[in-house]
Amino acid sequence: MDEITYDKVEEETSPKVKQLYWDIAFGLQDVDGLKPSKYMKELSLEHIEGKKTYQEVQKEITSYYRKNKDNHDDDDEEEADEVATVIYEILSDKSFRFDVLTFKNYHKRLFTNLDKKKYNPGVFRTYNFTKDEPILNGDTVQYQSYDLIEETLNYDFNEEKEIDYTKFNEEELINRIVEFTSRLWQVHPFQEGNTRTTAVFIQKYLISMGFNINNELFKDNALYFRNALVRANYTNYSKGIKETNKYLIMFFENLLLNKDYSLNNDDLKMN
């Protein structure tokens, strides 16, 4: 009997795929209003054109900020560059496991080179917080209490593992994915970087199940994705407002079913 051998996963070589992964990595920074530096864009272009390997790009951008720790102009650019580089790595990696440890690991990898006090990479927060949301006129979503983070995530992940998507029609499938994504985000387990971590994890999860994803959507609509999550988790009965999944549903129907809904951030703003 011939022995079955394993094939080593090689670095992505398709310029088109590399371009898409970098576009997504840069686009996801929009959730926090961050933009990559000119230097980062130049490095990514060299990588896309095959002039540099991913490892060389990663080494150069990390080395650049370490050498210029106290005299580069923009901390936001540093965050955008460092995080985008790791997002590219995760998206191009074929491995994935659906569990809380992977979710925590993604956060640790994304923010490990940044301010440890601000991000505490890969560690759940130990206090409760609020966040003023522009689309809510400064009001906040009610996030899960810090002392229930681990228990809640374990419950949600275990419940999701029991879901058999092969038995769902399109509407049921979208509704379930929206529900899980919304619940995962609402926990907000980390001090910072929750939306980017959630977005990357959900993309990897859907790909692992064999779904064909319109990845252009995350490149162009990262802020809409975040604001749709806000609206899916905000209720204020005194103002006549109830949480709604309709915006997330439109996003995921575009993502998975190739629908063509117009995703306009202005539609999510409260009057």
Same-domain pairing of 110 and 211: yes
Same-domain pairing of 163 and 232: yes
Q: For the residues of 26-54, what is the DSSP string, one character each? A: HHGGGGGT----HHHHHHHHHHHTTSS-H
Two tokens, residue 98: 């659906």
Identify the residue with better confidence: 57 or 2.
57
Q: Cβ–Cβ contacts within 10 Å for residue 10, how many?
A: 6
Host H or E run for residue 207: helix 194-208
pLDDT reported for residue 108 = 98
pLDDT reported for residue 70 = 63
Same-domain pairing of 103 and 80: no
Taking CA atoms, 117 is separated from 105, 175, 191, 258, in Å, by 17, 37, 9, 41
Same-domain pairing of 40 and 100: no
pLDDT reported for residue 240 = 86
pLDDT at 72 over 60: no
Give 241's strand partners: 236
Q: Mean pLDDT over residues 239-265, rounded?
A: 94
Tell me the pTM. 0.92
**Residue 237 confidence class, pLDDT cut points 50, 70, 90:** very high
Q: Mean pLDDT over residues 3-32, rounded?
A: 82
Q: Mean pLDDT over residues 141-155, rounded?
A: 98
pLDDT reported for residue 79 = 94
Same-domain pairing of 127 and 15: no
pLDDT reported for residue 148 = 98
pLDDT in tens, 83-100: 999 999 999 998 999 999
pLDDT in tens, 164-194: 999 999 999 999 999 999 999 999 999 999 9
Considering the chain, what percentage of its residues have pLDDT values greater than 90? 81
Same-domain pairing of 124 and 76: no
Domain encompassing residue 265: 96-271
pLDDT at 73 over 80: no
- Are 187 and 143 in contact by the 8 Å Cβ rule? The answer is yes
Listed residues 74, 95, 116: the one ending a domain: 95
Task: Please report, in angstroms and rounded to a whole number, the separation of the first and last CA atoms in the chain.
Answer: 70
Same-domain pairing of 116 and 173: yes
pLDDT reported for residue 13 = 78
Listed residues 77, 95, 113: the one ending a domain: 95
| pLDDT averaged over every residue in the chain | 92
Same-domain pairing of 150 and 266: yes
Q: Mean pLDDT over residues 65-92, rounded?
A: 86
pLDDT at 115 over 60: yes
Identify the residue with better confidence: 220 or 129.
129
Same-domain pairing of 103 and 224: yes
- Are 109 and 65 in contact by the 8 Å Cβ rule? The answer is no
Listed residues 42, 62, 95: the one ending a domain: 95
Q: How many domains does the chain have?
A: 2
Treating both helix axes as pointing N-terminal to C-terminal, what angle do 222-232 and 194-208 enclose, rounded to 10 degrees?
100
Q: For position 250, which CATH number holds?
A: 1.10.3290.10
pLDDT at 201 over 70: yes
**Residue 114 confidence class, pLDDT cut points 50, 70, 90:** very high
Cα–Cα distance measured from residue 227 to residue 250, given in angstroms and rounded to the nearest whole number: 13
Same-domain pairing of 163 and 89: no
Same-domain pairing of 15 and 146: no
Same-domain pairing of 123 and 256: yes
